[in-house]
Structure 1
Amino acid sequence: MNRLLLMLALVLVVFTSCKKSTHQEINQDHLIYATLWFQSSPENQALYHQGFNIAKMQLAQFAAVKSEKPKAVVVDIDETMLDNSPFQAQEIIDNKEFSSEFWNEWSQLGNAKALPGAKEFSNFCDSIGVTLFYISNRKTTELDATIKNLDSLGFSFAKPEYFLLKENESSKKTRREKVSAEFDIVMLIGDNLNDFSEVFESRGDDWGASLVEQYKNEFGKRYIVLPNPMYGDWEKNLYKTKDLTLEQKYELRKQAVKGFK
């Protein structure tokens, strides 16, 4: 009897261990490779330089055209100007999912590094007389730490009047309209389609592919898209709802990939 109980206990330990291991794997499998690519790939570095080089060339042309209003550029902050991949990495290390509290712990440190070409672009805007506005879904409670972070890195326009952070709604439409009331927005830069226009907020069953095709002539001109494989609003088409277990999310990711058979 004692031998049988011992065997059952060992089976339970092994089963629990395997289940825990699987749970951790499911939690992190999609994030590890994406974060490694973002932090380590020189191709990522090159894409940021490429994006900001194109932005500078286009902006120089826009700035040369006379307009009734002063010209402005709107940029996102996270994964556009600042690199938050250490936060994603810490999620992996600590086996944590995103939470506002965990994010706030990171953002209040003000330790994010500048992404390649981002600081230089902000300074270029200043040098040619184009105002740069930061429209971000960071909360207003993060304003001081965000300004301190950008200012310490040498970014131009690191003052409160150039920041429009999230108050009540995630949509950036109203904040863009506020800038447009006094400025001619000639360019928008971000890692998420919602950074450019409200038309991308409802992407449809094709995940927004038809919308991108519809506005394809804007990309590389007025819209500059930067890479972010770690997270984004595109995931909403994948998960549909927030009330999913890690296992359910894993299965949905697996089902969404398209093979050749």
Structure 2
Amino acid sequence: MRRAFSLTTSAALLLALAGCASSGTQTPTAPAPRPTPLQDAAAQAPLSDQAMLATLWIQRSAEFHALSLQAFNVAHDRLNLALARRHAQDKPLAVVVDVDDTVLDTTSYGGWALREGRTYDSQSWADWVDDAVSTASPGAVEFLNYAHASGVDVYYITNRKAAGKQATIANLAALGFPQANAEHVMPRTDSSDKTARRARVTQEHDIALLMGDNLGDFDQAFQQSTTRARNAEVARQADQFGRRFVLLPNPTYGEWEGVLYDGNWSSSEREKRAMRDAALNAWQPESGKVCQGK
């Protein structure tokens, strides 16, 4: 998620720039030492403000709409290539998609949590799933119906719990998604690892495409404990992206964030802010250079 700047920080920056503009050629006064991230944390806006910006980007930006369409256009083209290469003896083709924030938009749940001053919890999430109010990601219904019409099976491998399976099927069917049924919607049972469920699909199908918003939707090998290790695995499988793996953008949540916290999601807001700050790649200008325009 993007870092949110507080009003006090913005005001301080404007005053500093005004001072630079009025000083002419005088040597600028050395800036006061900046507080450490932990000292500054209490003056910052709450982390929920950062979540709001990311949620609004998905809900309101034309850029997200375009990126979603782009992902499904890429999937369309890659599926056509896979269909053209088929031989009579081959297994039937399948497309495997994640559900949340891949083919269904979950941000109305996030919007509710932000309005109520709450964070994710399993009970409110289950209630939201049961309401079956999710909307379709741009381009998702059209692409999956094209796949189905081309003789390709569609499997929805989701980490929603089995208790929400029927509500998920109802939500998908109401939006016009194909093959929204008990056989093709595969929720989490014992593990969030999707490897076994993908293996069930490959028993009778060749998977032409996998689509998701988290790298674990493609291969459990991406589920590493550090950002460096996750990036190394991305580099190792670089030729798969945009070909067999099609990734949707999601700045609101994901494994990438948990890695920043060393997997400790129970950290306090203050601790999470400090860990986010520590993870930033930030330019450090030499003293006075900003005012001197160098």
Q: 1:150 aligns with which of 164, 172, 197?
A: 172
The residue aligned with 2:46 is 26
- 2 CA distance for matches of 1:33 and 1:205? 23
Q: Which has the larger radius of gyration?
A: 2
The residue aligned with 1:58 is 78
The residue aligned with 2:216 is 194
1:58-137 mapped onto 2 (5 Å cutoff): 58-67=78-87, 68-137=90-159
Q: How many residues align structurally?
A: 240
Stretch deviating more after TM superposition (24-33 or 184-193) = 24-33
Could you say if the C-alpha distance between residues 156 and 93 of structure 1 is closer, same or farther in structure 2, counting changes exceeding 3 Å? same
Sequence identity (%): 37
Q: Deviations over 1:36-65 (max 9, x none)?
A: 111110000000000000100110110122
Q: Deviations over 1:106-146 (max 9, x none)?
A: 11110100010000011011111010100000001111111
Compare the two structures and name the one with the higher helix fraction: 1
- Contiguous gaps of at least 5 residues in structure 1: 1-21
Query: One-letter code of the match for 1:246?
Result: E
* Contact 2:227-2:256 at 8 Å conserved across structures: no
- 1 CA distance for matches of 2:239 and 2:208? 14
Q: CA deviation at 1:168?
A: 0.9
- 2 CA distance for matches of 1:207 and 1:236? 14
2:250 matches 1:228: yes
* Contact 2:169-2:181 at 8 Å conserved across structures: yes
Secondary structure of the equivalent of 1:108? Answer: helix
- 2 CA distance for matches of 1:51 and 1:164? 22
Q: TM-score, normalised by structure 2?
A: 0.79
- 2 CA distance for matches of 1:197 and 1:50? 22
What value does the CA root-mean-square deviation take over the aligned residues? 1.5
Stretch deviating more after TM superposition (207-216 or 221-230) = 207-216
The residue aligned with 1:244 is 267
Query: Structure 1 residue runs of 4+, over 4 Å off?
Result: none
Secondary structure of the equivalent of 1:206? Answer: helix
* Contact 1:74-1:133 at 8 Å conserved across structures: yes
Q: CA deviation at 1:27?
A: 3.9
- 1 CA distance for matches of 2:193 and 2:243? 23
The residue aligned with 2:26 is none
